[in-house]
Amino acid sequence: MRLSKKVRDGMSSLLKIIDLHVSVEDKPILHGVSLEIRQGEIHALMGPNGSGKSTLAYTLVGHPKYEITSGSIEVDGTPLNELDPCERARKGLFLAFQYPVTIPGVKVSDFLRHAVTNVRNPERKDGESLMPMREFRKELKQKMEELGMDTEFARRYLNEGFSGGEKKRMEILQLAMLQPKFAILDETDSGLDSDAVRVVSEGVRKLSGPQMGVLIITHHERLLEYNVPQFTHVMLAGKIVETGDAALAHELHNHGYAQIRERHPVEAAEEQSRQNRPETVGVATAVAK
Protein backbone atom coordinates (compact mmCIF):
# COMPACT_ATOMS: atom_id res chain seq x y z
CA MET A 1 0.00 0.00 0.00
CA ARG A 2 1.25 3.43 -0.95
CA LEU A 3 0.61 6.46 1.17
CA SER A 4 -1.87 8.84 -0.30
CA LYS A 5 -0.41 11.87 -2.03
CA LYS A 6 -1.66 14.14 0.71
CA VAL A 7 0.22 12.27 3.37
CA ARG A 8 3.43 12.20 1.37
CA ASP A 9 3.17 15.87 0.72
CA GLY A 10 3.40 16.72 4.36
CA MET A 11 0.17 15.79 6.02
CA SER A 12 1.04 13.84 9.10
CA SER A 13 0.45 10.11 9.46
CA LEU A 14 -2.07 8.74 11.88
CA LEU A 15 -1.84 5.61 14.03
CA LYS A 16 -5.31 4.51 14.96
CA ILE A 17 -6.14 1.87 17.55
CA ILE A 18 -9.80 0.93 17.34
CA ASP A 19 -11.60 -0.95 20.11
CA LEU A 20 -8.77 -3.40 20.56
CA HIS A 21 -9.38 -6.64 22.44
CA VAL A 22 -6.32 -8.78 23.09
CA SER A 23 -5.75 -12.16 24.69
CA VAL A 24 -2.60 -13.94 25.77
CA GLU A 25 -2.83 -17.72 25.78
CA ASP A 26 -6.63 -17.38 25.66
CA LYS A 27 -6.60 -15.05 28.64
CA PRO A 28 -8.21 -11.69 27.77
CA ILE A 29 -6.01 -8.78 28.83
CA LEU A 30 -7.16 -5.75 26.84
CA HIS A 31 -10.88 -5.06 26.78
CA GLY A 32 -11.43 -2.49 24.08
CA VAL A 33 -8.66 0.08 23.81
CA SER A 34 -9.06 3.00 21.42
CA LEU A 35 -6.34 5.56 20.81
CA GLU A 36 -5.25 7.91 18.04
CA ILE A 37 -1.71 9.11 17.73
CA ARG A 38 -0.70 11.58 15.09
CA GLN A 39 2.88 12.07 13.90
CA GLY A 40 4.35 14.90 15.95
CA GLU A 41 2.22 14.25 19.03
CA ILE A 42 3.38 13.02 22.40
CA HIS A 43 1.06 10.78 24.40
CA ALA A 44 1.70 9.44 27.87
CA LEU A 45 0.24 6.09 28.90
CA MET A 46 0.08 5.46 32.61
CA GLY A 47 -1.57 2.91 34.83
CA PRO A 48 -0.84 0.55 37.70
CA ASN A 49 1.30 -2.56 37.31
CA GLY A 50 -0.42 -5.27 35.34
CA SER A 51 -3.02 -2.94 33.82
CA GLY A 52 -2.00 -3.90 30.25
CA LYS A 53 0.37 -1.18 29.03
CA SER A 54 3.08 -3.53 27.80
CA THR A 55 0.42 -5.77 26.34
CA LEU A 56 -0.74 -2.87 24.19
CA ALA A 57 2.85 -2.15 23.18
CA TYR A 58 3.56 -5.77 22.20
CA THR A 59 0.29 -6.00 20.31
CA LEU A 60 1.15 -2.88 18.32
CA VAL A 61 4.45 -4.32 17.11
CA GLY A 62 2.93 -7.71 16.37
CA HIS A 63 4.18 -10.07 19.08
CA PRO A 64 2.77 -13.46 17.97
CA LYS A 65 1.71 -14.37 21.52
CA TYR A 66 -0.68 -11.45 21.74
CA GLU A 67 -3.80 -12.30 19.84
CA ILE A 68 -6.18 -9.62 18.65
CA THR A 69 -9.62 -11.08 19.24
CA SER A 70 -11.40 -8.00 17.89
CA GLY A 71 -10.70 -4.43 16.90
CA SER A 72 -7.91 -3.13 14.71
CA ILE A 73 -4.71 -1.18 14.35
CA GLU A 74 -4.34 1.11 11.35
CA VAL A 75 -1.79 3.49 9.94
CA ASP A 76 -3.36 6.03 7.60
CA GLY A 77 -6.27 3.71 7.05
CA THR A 78 -4.18 0.63 6.27
CA PRO A 79 -4.88 -2.18 8.75
CA LEU A 80 -1.78 -3.70 10.37
CA ASN A 81 -3.45 -6.63 12.12
CA GLU A 82 -2.28 -9.22 9.62
CA LEU A 83 1.25 -7.87 9.22
CA ASP A 84 4.20 -9.50 10.94
CA PRO A 85 6.55 -7.48 13.16
CA CYS A 86 9.02 -6.98 10.33
CA GLU A 87 6.43 -5.46 8.04
CA ARG A 88 5.14 -3.21 10.80
CA ALA A 89 8.66 -1.98 11.51
CA ARG A 90 9.07 -1.19 7.83
CA LYS A 91 5.85 0.80 8.02
CA GLY A 92 7.42 2.95 10.69
CA LEU A 93 6.49 1.40 14.03
CA PHE A 94 9.06 1.10 16.77
CA LEU A 95 8.97 -0.24 20.31
CA ALA A 96 11.65 0.47 22.88
CA PHE A 97 11.24 -2.72 24.89
CA GLN A 98 10.69 -2.72 28.64
CA TYR A 99 12.96 -5.77 28.82
CA PRO A 100 15.30 -5.82 25.80
CA VAL A 101 16.59 -9.34 25.08
CA THR A 102 20.18 -10.42 24.60
CA ILE A 103 21.27 -11.76 21.22
CA PRO A 104 24.55 -13.54 21.90
CA GLY A 105 27.27 -13.30 19.26
CA VAL A 106 25.52 -10.60 17.22
CA LYS A 107 27.44 -7.34 17.12
CA VAL A 108 25.47 -4.15 17.74
CA SER A 109 26.82 -2.63 14.53
CA ASP A 110 25.90 -5.63 12.35
CA PHE A 111 22.45 -5.76 13.85
CA LEU A 112 21.87 -2.05 13.39
CA ARG A 113 23.18 -2.02 9.83
CA HIS A 114 20.62 -4.66 8.87
CA ALA A 115 17.86 -2.89 10.76
CA VAL A 116 18.58 0.53 9.28
CA THR A 117 18.85 -0.85 5.75
CA ASN A 118 15.53 -2.65 6.02
CA VAL A 119 13.57 0.14 7.62
CA ARG A 120 14.85 2.68 5.10
CA ASN A 121 14.17 0.39 2.12
CA PRO A 122 10.91 -1.32 3.06
CA GLU A 123 10.96 -3.25 -0.24
CA ARG A 124 14.35 -4.83 0.44
CA LYS A 125 14.56 -8.61 -0.02
CA ASP A 126 16.80 -10.90 2.02
CA GLY A 127 20.33 -10.96 0.73
CA GLU A 128 20.15 -7.63 -1.07
CA SER A 129 22.97 -5.28 -0.29
CA LEU A 130 23.21 -3.38 2.96
CA MET A 131 23.74 0.32 3.55
CA PRO A 132 27.34 1.20 2.60
CA MET A 133 29.65 0.51 5.52
CA ARG A 134 31.37 3.90 5.69
CA GLU A 135 28.19 5.88 5.56
CA PHE A 136 26.65 3.65 8.19
CA ARG A 137 29.64 3.84 10.53
CA LYS A 138 29.75 7.59 10.29
CA GLU A 139 26.10 7.93 11.14
CA LEU A 140 26.30 5.42 13.97
CA LYS A 141 29.30 7.14 15.49
CA GLN A 142 27.57 10.50 15.36
CA LYS A 143 24.40 9.18 16.99
CA MET A 144 26.34 7.42 19.71
CA GLU A 145 28.23 10.56 20.52
CA GLU A 146 25.03 12.57 20.67
CA LEU A 147 23.65 10.11 23.19
CA GLY A 148 26.88 10.15 25.17
CA MET A 149 27.54 6.46 24.46
CA ASP A 150 30.99 4.95 24.26
CA THR A 151 31.44 3.93 20.61
CA GLU A 152 32.97 0.71 21.91
CA PHE A 153 29.39 -0.52 22.37
CA ALA A 154 29.05 -0.86 18.60
CA ARG A 155 31.48 -3.76 18.70
CA ARG A 156 29.83 -5.55 21.60
CA TYR A 157 27.28 -8.30 21.30
CA LEU A 158 23.73 -7.02 21.44
CA ASN A 159 22.78 -6.45 25.09
CA GLU A 160 25.14 -9.18 26.24
CA GLY A 161 26.44 -8.24 29.66
CA PHE A 162 24.86 -4.78 29.38
CA SER A 163 23.68 -3.19 32.60
CA GLY A 164 19.98 -2.33 32.84
CA GLY A 165 20.68 1.30 32.03
CA GLU A 166 22.95 0.41 29.10
CA LYS A 167 20.21 -1.70 27.60
CA LYS A 168 17.78 1.21 27.78
CA ARG A 169 20.27 3.51 26.10
CA MET A 170 20.75 0.94 23.39
CA GLU A 171 17.00 1.12 22.76
CA ILE A 172 17.24 4.88 22.38
CA LEU A 173 20.20 4.51 20.03
CA GLN A 174 18.04 2.25 17.88
CA LEU A 175 15.28 4.81 17.98
CA ALA A 176 17.76 7.43 16.82
CA MET A 177 19.02 5.28 13.96
CA LEU A 178 15.63 4.04 12.76
CA GLN A 179 13.69 7.31 13.06
CA PRO A 180 10.28 5.68 13.10
CA LYS A 181 6.99 7.43 12.43
CA PHE A 182 5.59 6.06 15.68
CA ALA A 183 7.68 5.21 18.70
CA ILE A 184 6.40 3.42 21.77
CA LEU A 185 8.70 3.76 24.75
CA ASP A 186 7.88 1.12 27.34
CA GLU A 187 9.39 2.28 30.64
CA THR A 188 12.55 3.41 28.92
CA ASP A 189 13.16 5.60 31.97
CA SER A 190 13.09 2.88 34.61
CA GLY A 191 16.22 1.30 35.96
CA LEU A 192 18.29 4.37 35.10
CA ASP A 193 20.32 6.51 37.44
CA SER A 194 19.32 10.18 37.47
CA ASP A 195 22.06 11.23 35.01
CA ALA A 196 20.97 8.53 32.61
CA VAL A 197 17.32 9.56 32.92
CA ARG A 198 18.36 13.05 31.86
CA VAL A 199 20.41 11.77 28.92
CA VAL A 200 17.59 9.53 27.73
CA SER A 201 14.97 12.24 28.23
CA GLU A 202 17.03 14.79 26.32
CA GLY A 203 17.69 12.18 23.65
CA VAL A 204 13.97 11.57 23.17
CA ARG A 205 13.32 15.29 23.05
CA LYS A 206 15.89 15.74 20.29
CA LEU A 207 14.62 12.79 18.32
CA SER A 208 10.94 13.44 18.51
CA GLY A 209 9.54 16.26 16.47
CA PRO A 210 7.00 16.78 13.77
CA GLN A 211 8.11 13.51 12.12
CA MET A 212 7.51 11.26 15.12
CA GLY A 213 4.49 10.30 17.15
CA VAL A 214 5.48 9.08 20.61
CA LEU A 215 3.66 6.94 23.13
CA ILE A 216 5.49 7.13 26.45
CA ILE A 217 4.69 4.44 28.97
CA THR A 218 6.09 5.49 32.31
CA HIS A 219 5.78 5.47 36.08
CA HIS A 220 8.03 8.51 36.51
CA GLU A 221 7.83 12.19 35.81
CA ARG A 222 11.25 13.17 34.51
CA LEU A 223 10.82 11.84 30.99
CA LEU A 224 7.50 13.69 30.75
CA GLU A 225 9.08 16.93 31.98
CA TYR A 226 11.43 16.87 29.02
CA ASN A 227 8.75 15.60 26.68
CA VAL A 228 5.53 17.23 27.72
CA PRO A 229 2.60 15.14 26.53
CA GLN A 230 -0.37 16.70 24.80
CA PHE A 231 -2.40 13.73 26.02
CA THR A 232 -2.22 11.51 29.07
CA HIS A 233 -4.14 8.22 29.09
CA VAL A 234 -4.78 6.12 32.13
CA MET A 235 -5.16 2.38 31.79
CA LEU A 236 -6.91 0.25 34.36
CA ALA A 237 -7.64 -3.47 33.95
CA GLY A 238 -7.18 -3.46 30.20
CA LYS A 239 -9.11 -0.30 29.39
CA ILE A 240 -8.24 3.34 28.93
CA VAL A 241 -10.44 4.85 31.60
CA GLU A 242 -9.40 8.50 31.39
CA THR A 243 -7.65 10.83 29.01
CA GLY A 244 -6.39 14.26 29.95
CA ASP A 245 -3.42 16.52 29.40
CA ALA A 246 -0.04 16.87 31.10
CA ALA A 247 -1.74 17.89 34.33
CA LEU A 248 -3.31 14.45 34.65
CA ALA A 249 0.12 12.82 34.54
CA HIS A 250 1.27 15.22 37.22
CA GLU A 251 -1.72 14.40 39.39
CA LEU A 252 -1.13 10.66 39.11
CA HIS A 253 2.47 11.13 40.17
CA ASN A 254 1.44 13.03 43.23
CA HIS A 255 -1.60 11.06 44.29
CA GLY A 256 -1.31 7.61 42.79
CA TYR A 257 -4.23 5.65 41.38
CA ALA A 258 -6.62 5.68 44.37
CA GLN A 259 -8.84 8.41 42.94
CA ILE A 260 -8.84 6.81 39.52
CA ARG A 261 -10.07 3.57 41.08
CA GLU A 262 -12.75 5.45 42.94
CA ARG A 263 -13.95 7.12 39.76
CA HIS A 264 -13.98 3.77 37.88
CA PRO A 265 -15.35 1.16 40.28
CA VAL A 266 -16.13 -1.45 37.57
CA GLU A 267 -12.56 -1.54 36.29
CA ALA A 268 -11.22 -1.37 39.84
CA ALA A 269 -13.25 -4.45 40.71
CA GLU A 270 -12.00 -6.18 37.57
CA GLU A 271 -8.45 -5.33 38.55
CA GLN A 272 -9.09 -6.76 41.99
CA SER A 273 -10.52 -9.98 40.64
CA ARG A 274 -7.59 -10.36 38.22
CA GLN A 275 -5.20 -10.26 41.10
CA ASN A 276 -7.16 -12.73 43.17
CA ARG A 277 -8.52 -15.03 40.56
CA PRO A 278 -7.41 -18.60 40.30
CA GLU A 279 -5.85 -19.17 36.88
CA THR A 280 -9.05 -20.18 35.15
CA VAL A 281 -9.91 -18.67 31.85
CA GLY A 282 -13.63 -19.08 32.45
CA VAL A 283 -13.81 -16.50 35.22
CA ALA A 284 -11.83 -13.93 33.31
CA THR A 285 -13.99 -14.33 30.25
CA ALA A 286 -17.15 -13.94 32.29
CA VAL A 287 -15.90 -10.69 33.79
CA ALA A 288 -14.83 -9.37 30.43
CA LYS A 289 -18.31 -9.76 28.99
Specify the stretch interacting with other proteins by CB under 8 A; choose among 113-121, 141-149, 225-233, 252-260. Answer: 113-121
Q: Which is nearer to other proteins, 44 or 177 (CB)?
A: 177
Residue 127 contacts which entry, ligand ATP, Mg ion, other proteins, none (Cβ below 5-8 A, type-dependent): other proteins
Which residue in 62, 203, 229, 238 binds other proteins (CB under 8 A)? 62
Distance of CA 77 to the CA centre of its chain: 20
Contact call for residue 54 and ligand ATP (CB under 6 A): yes
Specify the stretch interacting with ligand ATP by CB under 6 A; choose among 46-54, 146-154, 198-206, 208-216. Answer: 46-54
Q: Count the Cβ atoms, other than its own, within 10 Å of residue 72.
A: 14
Task: Write a three-state SS string for the chain.
Answer: CCCCHHHHCCCCCEEEEEEEEEEECCEEEEEEEEEEEECCCEEEEECCCCCCHHHHHHHHHCCCCEEEEEEEEEECCEECCCCCHHHHHHCCEEEECCCCCCCCCCEHHHHHHHHHHHHHCCCCCCCCCCCCHHHHHHHHHHHHHHCCCCHHHHHCECCCCCCHHHHHHHHHHHHHHHCCCEEEEECCCCCCCHHHHHHHHHHHHHHCECCEEEEEECCCCHHHHHCCCCEEEEEECCEEEEEECHHHHHHHHHHCCHHHHHHCHHHHHHHHHHHHCCCCHHHHHHHHC
Residues of span 178-197 touching other proteins by CB under 8 A? 178
Q: Which is nearer to other proteins, 94 or 162 (CB)?
A: 94
Residue 157 contacts which entry, other proteins, ligand ATP, Mg ion, none (Cβ below 5-8 A, type-dependent): other proteins
Specify the stretch interacting with ligand ATP by CB under 6 A; choose among 13-21, 51-59, 69-77, 123-131. Answer: 51-59
Residue 86 contacts which entry, other proteins, ligand ATP, Mg ion, none (Cβ below 5-8 A, type-dependent): other proteins
Supply the minimum distance, in Å, between the C-beta of residue 59 and other proteins.
Answer: 12
Supply the minimum distance, in Å, between the C-beta of residue 47 and ligand ATP.
Answer: 6
Contact code string over 141-160 relative to other proteins, x by CB under 8 A: ----------------xx--
Chain positions contacting other proteins, by CB under 8 A: 61-65, 84-86, 88-90, 93-95, 97, 100-101, 103-106, 110-111, 114-115, 118-119, 126-127, 157-158, 174, 178
